[in-house]
Amino acid sequence: MDTVILLTLTGLGLAALYFLVASGLSLVFGLADVLNFAHGLFLGFGAYATWWAAGNLPGAGSDGFGFVVAVAFGVAAGTLMAVLVELVLIRPLYSRTIEQVLVTVGLSLAGVALLQATWGADARPFPRPEWTRQVTTILGAQVPNGGLLLIVAAALVLGAILAFLRWTRYGLIIRAGVENREMVTALGIDVRKAFTLVFAIGGAAAALAGALGSVYFGTVSPQQGGSLLIFAFIVVVIGGMGSVVGSAYAAVAVGLLQQFVNYYGTSGLGDICVVALLAVVLLLRPQGIAGKVATA
């Protein structure tokens, strides 16, 4: 029983990480039709910015409020980078899918190379609060606090995004734009501002995933974003392009499946099962769990 609870909670921790990356990716694709292969770079950039801030930024540190400041700095850096990427590189290429893919793949490779050139290719220990190194006993299972932190953060982000989509004018524009972008412009709305906004939201969530994921794993490395991005794409497709709630459901399914199969089967079998799940969803429900709806 302890094992099941432990696997469930660590699976949910993994799901939280996937959700933080996938939510922005899904909104960006749903609204702007941009398949952003550079999204993982926002994660890596956020993680390294947090790592740097914890050691160098006045007021920031590796524990207590200082760590909150470091994470806030990392999230701000990821958000800024996402906004710059949208404004400078993506905006001139809307509706030019091939060019977008080339640019975002190129940016992703260049970004990883830049991180390697600056801080080296090897993983570095990540400064993390003492509490996150400990475990909490839940129904007899010893659950790492880093995983619980991820679950709480993802739940808060999910709530915040849903509230934003439900209660704000820009949220309304995004929900409508995911359904029919052209009609939004035909109502007199400059939808490009919403594009920038979803990139900012996606960048912030990915950077938060980078910071808290590094806390969970205990290290930060330049390749971190790329490896998580693959599963985030799978989550987006299973959940339904443009659906935040769909991404949340899909992330939970993928995280739990991976964790349980890797434990009860052999290591690595979980990843194969995730790909099989993707294939089944594509065959039975190609639009994903929620279809193309920015659910609020």
Partner 1 sequence: MTVEPVLTVEDLSVRIAGLHILQGVSFTVAPTGVTVLLGRNGVGKTTTLRAVVGLTPRNGEAGGTVRMGGQTLLSQPTHRLVRGGLGYVPEDRCVFAGLTVAENLRLAERRGSTPAYDRVFALFPELDRRARQRAGSLSGGQQQMLAIGRVLLNDNRLLLVDEPTKGLAPKVVTEVAEVLERVAEAVPVLLVEQNLAVVRRLARDAVVLAAGKVAWTGDAQELLRETELTRSLLGVGSAEVHH
Three-state SS at 152:
helix
What minimum distance in Å lies between the beta carbon of 34 and partner 1? Answer: 14
Which residues make Cβ contacts (< 8 Å) with residue 201, sequence separation at least 6? 23, 24, 27, 161, 164
What minimum distance in Å lies between the beta carbon of 282 and partner 1? Answer: 22
What minimum distance in Å lies between the beta carbon of 187 and partner 1? Answer: 5
Task: Give Dmax over CA atoms of the chain in angstroms.
Answer: 58
What minimum distance in Å lies between the beta carbon of 285 and partner 1? Answer: 17
In angstroms, the CA 113 to CA 120 distance is 9
What minimum distance in Å lies between the beta carbon of 6 and partner 1? Answer: 39
Q: Judged by CB under 8 A, does residue 189 bind partner 1?
A: yes
- Our CB check for partner 1 shows the closer of 4 and 183 to be 183
2-32 vs 244-264: helix crossing angle, rounded to 10: 140
Q: Judged by CB under 8 A, does residue 186 bind partner 1?
A: yes
What minimum distance in Å lies between the beta carbon of 189 and partner 1? Answer: 6
- Our CB check for partner 1 shows the closer of 54 and 90 to be 90
Residue from 173, 241, 250, 253 binding partner 1 (CB under 8 A): 173
Three-state secondary structure readout of 246-282: HHHHHHHHHHHHHHHHHHHCCCCHHHHHHHHHHHHHH
- Our CB check for partner 1 shows the closer of 185 and 227 to be 185
Span from 75-83, 112-120, 178-186, 250-258 in contact with partner 1 (CB under 8 A): 178-186
Residue from 1, 122, 137, 188 binding partner 1 (CB under 8 A): 188
Total number of residues binding partner 1 (CB under 8 A)? 21
Span from 144-152, 154-162, 177-185, 195-203 in contact with partner 1 (CB under 8 A): 177-185
Q: Judged by CB under 8 A, does residue 180 bind partner 1?
A: yes
> Residue 259 in contact with residue 11, Cβ under 8 Å?
yes
Instruction: Name the pairing type of β-strands 219-220 and 135-138.
Output: unpaired
What minimum distance in Å lies between the beta carbon of 293 and partner 1? Answer: 5
Which residues make Cβ contacts (< 8 Å) with residue 175, sequence separation at least 6? 165, 293, 294, 295, 296
Bridge partner list, 141 = 138
Q: Which contiguous run of DSSP H or E holds residue 143?
A: strand 141-144
- Kindly identify the residues of this chain, within the stretch 79-118, that bind partner 1 according to CB under 8 A: 95
How far is CA 170 from its chain centroid? 21
Residue from 182, 267, 283, 284 binding partner 1 (CB under 8 A): 182
User: Which of 165, 160, 201 has the alpha carbon at shortest distance from 42?
Assistant: 201
Residue from 21, 175, 194, 201 binding partner 1 (CB under 8 A): 175
Output the CA–CA distances (angstroms, integers) from residue 95 to 29, 100, 101, 181, 193, in the order listed.
12, 8, 11, 12, 16
Q: Which residues of the chain form contacts with partner 1 (CB under 8 A)?
A: 95, 169, 172-173, 175-176, 179-180, 182-191, 293-295
